[in-house]
Amino acid sequence: MKAKKTATEQPLYKNPKAPIEERIKDLISRMTIEEKADQLCQDTIGVDPNPDNYSLDNPYCPTCGSVYQFMGGAKNRNKFQRQAIEETRLGIPLLWAIDVIHGWRTMFPVSLAQAASFNPALTEKSQRIAARECWQDGGIDWCLGPMVEVGHDPRWGRNVEGYGEDPYTASQFAAAAVRGFQKDGRVTACVKHFVGYSACEGGRDYSYTEFSDRALREWYLPPFEAGAKAGAYTMMSSFNEWDGKPIPANRALLTDELRGKMGFSGFVVSDCGALHRMGNMGYTSDPIEQTSEALYAGNEMAMGDGLYRNIPEAVEKGLLSMETVDEAVARVLRVKFKLGCFENPYAPELPREKTCILPDADELSLKFARETMVLLKNNKKLLPLDSKKFRRIAIIGPSANEIHPHLGQWRAAAEATPEYGETLLDAAKKFFPKAEISFARGCAGWDYRTNPGDAAECEKAVAVAKEADIVLLCFGELPWMAGEIKSRRDICLPPGQRELIKALSALNKPIIGLCCSGRALAFQEEAEAMDALLWLWQSGRRAPTAAMEILTGKVNPSGKLPITFPRSVGQIPIYYNCHGKITPEAHDYQDLQDEDGPWFPFGYGLAYSTYKYGKLKIKKTANGLEAHVSVKNTGKYDGKETVIWYLSDIEAKFTQPVRRVIAFEKLSIKAGETKDVCLKIDPKRDLAYSLPNGIKILEPGEFVLSASRQSEASFWFEE
């Protein structure tokens, strides 16, 4: 029988008016070492995400620090939380975590598509809605996102979760995502995966990574620093290694860099099972050593493997100090106190129609999708379509009549049903009500082996296309073809799609390609058959409507590529902020000759308007430099243009990239309107670079500034 306590006997840590640090100190003083170890473990409940999600195979531990991947809903979550609060000695609430990358039930564009918008404000708004939905509907208060790894190899499946190849762009979106998730104060973000995970050899997930201290600072660290400065409460360490040590056991990164130099004050959770996998890396397979090494390094919570329940033994053997354990527990408890978990441990139990896919969420999903899509090709200005000219439309392809290609790889609680999305075929019928619309799948679509059924499907599609005035070809990747453990040795189209495109091209009909994808693809030869190519990405629940708005001219496309598209897999890695060639006039490859550049470069994207850039002018100010350039919409359509500011440091003691992004701004410009764009340059921020030891240096010298590579000016800077 539990003893009752009077109000005067209430422990200090339960007093909401007491300072957080005093509450933490009081609670830790009352905890046994076993209870401390439990607080540093993140468990699952049961073996599958059914409503009750509980089994004897994986019993619930109410004293653990967190539960992840629980899909039982707020009511069942509260049932388990109640056990932690009411049936344990200290009543410490749990954090409830799940991967929320681009939405909970309202699916927004995947992260890579979000970066194509060059509009971080939309990311902040969408993540605020995602946090609202996952908390009110699922009781989730810990979103395991954003993923901010800079990706240089499109074969790596997890590019879909990140914000592209540019560190500055990724940093802006990382900060926006953190602000959005944590805006309302009841949900925390988790910036992942710290750090360099995307450097895996050959794009092979979970493989060896090798990168220099310089690459670490130039490419991989900036988005994490931006997330830390935005106030992220948690970060996730990555599977990979750096400088001979697995990241979860790498104190130089987790403590010296992340906490010491970046000022991160939250706690670090490992990726799922990462600690016990250190044995696979040839580091240590001893659970006690894994525990002590990781906790000492600064990895406060272990996800999924229960490894930190070895803490008592590690302390007893002298491999861990109680001071290290207490500091780790304090960091976890601090986040719980900041989120108000002790005062409000239970999630609201509301009907789904009151919490999810509300009008503001649906409206933002459509608005976001409009700005993500990138027009890559538009021969003879075929687009926007003249609905009077094309009265018979053939909609062909494996993604024409499917919902799931648009929802993305991490779709949380959403399903591929009409409640959560729509199809391109249905959207086309709404936008072309007077047209005769016919449909054919054309091929099995997604199989990378030759599919016997493709020939018959292809024949049907050709027959349908022969009777049409124009073909809308819907193709690309399914969501499961990108994401975790979804690397590809090649990034071409599947055989069935290639054969379909070849057959349709022989008809000499206008073809508009609509490509769904979670990465850059390389199919230059097949694209020659298309008169127009619109890159849809995986842009969420309203992607089909946004695509039709662009095709019909209701929306002027404004997306720009956040990654470089190679001509073939042999060009990988290829990215815009590379370092200069030793012999600039030499071709990269004998078999590319004069085409040694990318298929489509970073920042590329067409519009129905043309934008004319004026002369770029740079002047000194009291605080640094100021650049001005005019941008005129010389077309017939109102539109949005992203001005991307590139800086080139011509000569430096440590060689610099040929160019790097230092700022961008998206402008709404009406037809015929001219806008002046001003960039304020802080030399210590924008002209300086990091030495291998992390110290920033600002050298005098010549620089070149470019506005979207349309207008540029050189200048000399000296303090």
Under the banding of pLDDT at 50, 70 and 90, the label for residue 438 is: very high
Q: Model confidence over 190-233: pLDDT tens digits?
A: 999 999 999 999 999 999 998 999 999 999 999 999 999 999 99
Q: Which residues have a Cβ under 8 Å from the Cβ of 119 and sit 6 or more positions away? A: 371, 666
How far is 547 from 532, CA to CA, in rounded Å? 13
Q: How far is CA 503 from the centre of its chain?
A: 36
> Which pLDDT score, from 0 to 100, does residue 354 have?
96
pLDDT of residue 387: 79
Q: Which of 674, 698, 677, 701 is nearest to 686 (CA)?
A: 698
Residue 184 lies in a domain: yes
Secondary structure letter of residue 579 according to DSSP? B
d(CA 130, CA 518): 20
Residue listed under structure tokens 């499907």:
457
Q: Does residue 253 register a pLDDT over 50?
A: yes
43 noted as active-site residue = no
Whether the CA torsion 25, 27, 31, 37 is positive or negative: it is negative
User: 47 pLDDT band (50/70/90 cuts)?
Assistant: low
Question: In this structure, are 90 and 141 located in the same domain?
Answer: yes
The residue segments making up the domain with residue 662 are 611-717
Token pair in block for residue 195: 């750090």
What is residue 161's predicted lDDT score, i.e. its pLDDT? 97
Contact by Cβ (8 Å): 163, 219: no
Tell the residue number behind the tokens 């927004």, with chain if given: 108
**How far apart are alpha carbons 181 and 159 in whole angstroms?**
21
- For 712, the enclosing helix (H) or strand (E) is strand 711-717
Cα torsion through 506, 512, 516, 522, rounded to 10: 60
Over 50: is that where the pLDDT of 700 sits?
A: yes
136: domain CATH number?
3.20.20.300
Q: Tokens standing for 32?
A: 């046994």
pLDDT at 224: 98
Check pLDDT > 50 for residue 4. Answer: no
**Residues found in the chain:** 719
Q: With 50 as the cut, is the pLDDT of residue 81 above it?
A: yes
- Helix, strand, coil shares of the chain, percent, nearest 5, are 35, 20, 45
User: What count of Cα atoms within 13 Å lies in the side-chain half-sphere of residue 715?
Assistant: 19
DSSP class of residue 533 equals E
Residues 657 and 623 in one domain: yes
Q: Answer yes or no: is 490 within a domain.
A: yes
Closest CA relative to residue 558, chosen from 575, 534, 541, 576: 534
Q: Is-contact 182 188, C-beta < 8 A?
A: yes
Does residue 75 belong to any structural domain of this protein?
Answer: yes
- pLDDT at 53 (0 to 100): 52
In CATH, what number is assigned to the domain containing residue 428? 3.40.50.1700
Assess whether 385 and 326 both reside in one domain. Answer: no
Q: Write down the pLDDT at residue 454.
A: 87
- Cα(221)–Cα(233) distance, rounded to whole angstroms? 17
- Residue at a domain's end among 513, 546, 573: 573
Q: What is the pLDDT of residues 531-581, one digit of tens each?
A: 999 999 999 999 999 999 999 999 999 999 999 999 999 999 999 999 998
Q: Whole-structure pTM over 0.85, yes or no? A: yes
pLDDT band per the 50, 70, 90 thresholds, residue 350: very high
What's the CATH number where 684 sits?
Answer: 2.60.40.10
Q: Which two tokens stand for residue 575?
A: 């990215």
Which residues 6+ apart lie within 8 Å of 27 measured at CB? 11, 13, 90, 92, 333
Q: What secondary structure letter does DSSP report for 553? A: T
Q: Which of 303, 338, 373 is the last residue of a domain?
A: 338
What is the tens place of the pLDDT at every residue in 449-493? Answer: 667 778 999 999 999 999 999 999 999 998 888 989 899 999 999
Catalytic: which of 43, 153, 271, 454?
Answer: 271
Tell the burial category of 370 from Cβ atoms under 10 Å away from its Cβ (0-12, 13-18, 19+). Answer: buried
**Based on the domain organization, do 260 and 369 belong to the same domain?**
no
Helix 120-138 vs helix 73-86: angle between axes, to the nearest 10 degrees? 70
CB 400 within 8 A of CB 533: no
The answer to whether residues 202 and 168 belong to one domain is yes
Q: Is 265 inside a domain boundary? A: yes
Q: Which amino acid is at 497?
A: Q
Query: What pLDDT is stored for residue 453 in this prediction?
Result: 75
Could you identify the residue written with the tokens 């003691």? 653
Identify the band that residue 585 occupies on the pLDDT scale cut at 50, 70 and 90.
confident
Which of 12-26, 37-51, 661-675 is least confident? 37-51
Question: Which DSSP state fits 542?
Answer: T
- Tell me the C-alpha distance between 143 and 141, whole Å: 6
Handedness of CA 143, 374, 225, 231 (dihedral sign): negative
- Measured between its terminal Cα atoms, the distance across the chain in Å is 74
**Secondary structure, 3-state, 119-146:** CHHHHHHHHHHHHHHHHHHHCCCEECCC
User: Cα 27 vs. chain centroid, distance in angstroms?
Assistant: 37
The answer on 426 and 308 residing in a single domain is: no
Do 555 and 417 fall into the same domain?
A: yes
Look at residue 57 in the predicted model and tell me its pLDDT.
67
- Better-scored residue on pLDDT, 51 or 638: 638
To the nearest 10°, the Cα dihedral for 312, 313, 315, 317? 160
- d(CA 440, CA 48) in angstroms, rounded, equals 37
Give the DSSP letter of residue 479. Answer: G
Specify the number of domains making up the chain. Answer: 3
3-class DSSP assignment, residue 437: strand
Does residue 3 register a pLDDT over 70? no
Please report whether residue 302 resides in a domain: yes
Assigned domain for 605 exists: no
Domain shared by 280 and 384, yes or no: no
The tokens for 550 are: 């662009």
- What is the rounded CA–CA span in Å between residue 703 and residue 223? 24
Classified as helix, coil or strand, 569 is helix
- Residues 97, 384: Cα–Cα separation, whole Å: 44
Residue 530 lies in a domain: yes
Cα-to-chain-centroid distance, residue 717: 36
Predicted local distance difference test score (pLDDT) of residue 54: 56
Position 693 confidence tier, pLDDT thresholds 50, 70, 90? confident
Backbone angles phi, psi at 7, to 5 degrees: -60, -35
Predicted confidence band of residue 82 (pLDDT cuts 50, 70, 90):
very high
Q: How confident is the model at residue 692 (pLDDT cuts 50, 70, 90)?
A: confident
Question: Do 512 and 555 fall into the same domain?
Answer: yes
Q: What is the pLDDT of residue 595?
A: 67
Amino acid at the residue 373: M
Looking at the fold, whether 171 and 245 belong to one and the same domain comes out as yes
For residues 316 and 373, state if they share a domain. Answer: no
Which of 323, 338, 353 is the last residue in one of the domains? 338
* CA–CA separation, 41 and 37 (whole Å): 7
With respect to residue 351, please indicate whether it lies within any of the assigned structural domains. no
- Comparison of pLDDT for 632 and 581, the residue scoring more: 632
Q: Are residues 275 and 366 in the same domain?
A: no
Distance CA 535, CA 553 (A): 16
